[in-house]
Each structure stands twice: as C-alpha cells, then as structure tokens.
Amino acid sequence: IPLTLIYCQYVLSVVFITKPCLPCHSTVSAACPDFWIGYNRKCFYASKEERNWSLSLKTCSSLNASLAVIDTQKELVRNN
C-alpha cells in the first residue's frame, strides 16, 4: 500500500458557519486550531508525516476529525 500525506478536516461549529464573514478567510482561520488551515467553513490539517490509509484514519480520529478526500487537483489548490 503506498504511503500518502495525511489531510484531516472537520466542519466548524454552527456558530461559525452561520456568522456572516467578508472576507471569510480571516474569520474561519481564527476559529481553527493552531497549525490548521481554515477554508470554506472547514479546518484542514496537512501532516508532514506519510502513513497508510488505516493509520491516517486513526490519526484524524485522534484529532476529532475525519480523513479528507481530495478528488481533483482543483480541490487541492485554492485560487486567491
């Protein structure tokens, strides 16, 4: 099984989702834990470690998050 970088995500609480934010990036980032990236009302964590799928799931679970699935290059790259 090939090793991949771990990308974890979790959705911000309803309080933050329903708040109007212009621009949203600064508001969302403030709500994410340290070293997590806020984008589109979600927080993402990119691990520097490579692990297999099973260990990646366990790592995200230990962070109270789910393993993010990135289907396309467009989802991975954010346009500013």
Distance CA 27, CA 15 (A): 12
Residue 14's pLDDT is what? 31
Domain ranges across the chain: 3-76
pLDDT in tens, 10-59: 554 333 222 333 444 544 445 788 888 887 778 888 877 777 778 888 88
Residue 19's pLDDT is what? 33
Question: How would residue 65 be classed by pLDDT, with cut points 50, 70 and 90?
Answer: confident
Beta bridge partners of 5: 50
CATH class of residue range 3-76: alpha beta
Question: How would residue 71 be classed by pLDDT, with cut points 50, 70 and 90?
Answer: low
Q: Using alpha carbons, select from 10, 66, 58 the residue that is nearest to residue 36.
A: 10
pTM beyond 0.75? no
